Amino acid sequence: MVATIIWKENILEDLEGGLLEYKTVGEFLVGIKKEFGGGDKKSVKVVELKRLEQEGKIMKEFKKGMSGAIRKKLIKAKRSPTSIEQ
Protein backbone atom coordinates (compact mmCIF):
# COMPACT_ATOMS: atom_id res chain seq x y z
CA MET A 1 0.00 0.00 0.00
CA VAL A 2 2.81 2.41 0.87
CA ALA A 3 4.50 1.70 -2.50
CA THR A 4 1.37 2.70 -4.43
CA ILE A 5 1.08 5.97 -2.50
CA ILE A 6 4.72 6.80 -3.23
CA TRP A 7 4.21 5.84 -6.89
CA LYS A 8 1.11 8.05 -7.11
CA GLU A 9 2.94 11.03 -5.63
CA ASN A 10 5.87 10.54 -8.01
CA ILE A 11 3.55 10.29 -11.03
CA LEU A 12 1.62 13.41 -10.03
CA GLU A 13 4.86 15.32 -9.51
CA ASP A 14 6.20 14.22 -12.91
CA LEU A 15 2.90 15.10 -14.64
CA GLU A 16 2.76 18.54 -13.05
CA GLY A 17 6.43 19.15 -13.85
CA GLY A 18 5.95 18.20 -17.49
CA LEU A 19 8.38 15.29 -17.21
CA LEU A 20 5.69 12.76 -18.03
CA GLU A 21 2.78 12.96 -20.43
CA TYR A 22 0.04 10.53 -21.35
CA LYS A 23 -1.89 11.36 -24.51
CA THR A 24 -4.62 8.78 -23.94
CA VAL A 25 -6.17 6.89 -21.06
CA GLY A 26 -5.03 3.68 -22.74
CA GLU A 27 -1.44 4.88 -22.68
CA PHE A 28 -1.77 5.72 -18.97
CA LEU A 29 -3.20 2.27 -18.23
CA VAL A 30 -0.34 0.61 -20.09
CA GLY A 31 2.08 2.60 -17.94
CA ILE A 32 0.35 1.36 -14.79
CA LYS A 33 0.30 -2.23 -16.04
CA LYS A 34 4.00 -2.08 -16.90
CA GLU A 35 4.88 -0.53 -13.55
CA PHE A 36 2.95 -3.08 -11.51
CA GLY A 37 3.28 -6.10 -13.82
CA GLY A 38 -0.41 -6.41 -14.59
CA GLY A 39 -2.28 -6.89 -17.84
CA ASP A 40 -1.74 -9.25 -20.68
CA LYS A 41 1.04 -8.59 -23.17
CA LYS A 42 -1.33 -8.43 -26.12
CA SER A 43 -3.39 -5.50 -24.80
CA VAL A 44 -0.22 -3.62 -23.82
CA LYS A 45 1.22 -4.11 -27.33
CA VAL A 46 -2.03 -3.01 -29.00
CA VAL A 47 -1.99 0.32 -27.15
CA GLU A 48 1.71 0.82 -27.92
CA LEU A 49 1.12 0.14 -31.62
CA LYS A 50 -1.80 2.60 -31.71
CA ARG A 51 0.41 5.25 -30.10
CA LEU A 52 3.18 4.65 -32.65
CA GLU A 53 0.69 4.78 -35.50
CA GLN A 54 -0.69 8.08 -34.22
CA GLU A 55 2.82 9.53 -33.88
CA GLY A 56 3.55 8.46 -37.46
CA LYS A 57 0.46 10.31 -38.70
CA ILE A 58 1.46 13.41 -36.75
CA MET A 59 4.95 13.32 -38.28
CA LYS A 60 3.49 13.00 -41.81
CA GLU A 61 1.26 16.03 -41.20
CA PHE A 62 4.18 17.95 -39.74
CA LYS A 63 6.31 17.18 -42.80
CA LYS A 64 3.48 18.22 -45.13
CA GLY A 65 3.17 21.57 -43.38
CA MET A 66 6.90 22.27 -43.42
CA SER A 67 8.15 24.53 -46.19
CA GLY A 68 10.24 22.97 -48.95
CA ALA A 69 13.23 25.17 -48.13
CA ILE A 70 13.33 24.03 -44.52
CA ARG A 71 12.95 20.40 -45.55
CA LYS A 72 15.88 20.70 -47.96
CA LYS A 73 18.07 22.30 -45.27
CA LEU A 74 17.23 19.49 -42.84
CA ILE A 75 18.06 16.83 -45.42
CA LYS A 76 21.40 18.48 -46.26
CA ALA A 77 22.34 19.14 -42.63
CA LYS A 78 25.32 17.15 -41.37
CA ARG A 79 23.88 17.05 -37.84
CA SER A 80 20.21 16.77 -37.05
CA PRO A 81 18.85 19.72 -35.06
CA THR A 82 17.92 18.91 -31.48
CA SER A 83 15.66 21.91 -30.88
CA ILE A 84 13.27 24.14 -32.85
CA GLU A 85 15.70 27.07 -32.48
CA GLN A 86 18.38 25.24 -34.46
pLDDT value of residue 37: 65
Cα→Cα distances 21→12, 28, 45, 54, 67, Å: 10, 9, 18, 15, 29
pLDDT value of residue 86: 61
What residue segments make up the domains of the chain, in order of their start? 25-77
User: At a CB cut-off of 8 Å and minimum separation 6, what does 28 contact?
Assistant: 22
How does residue 67 score in pLDDT terms, banded at 50, 70 and 90?
Answer: confident
How does residue 68 score in pLDDT terms, banded at 50, 70 and 90?
Answer: confident
pTM of the model: 0.36
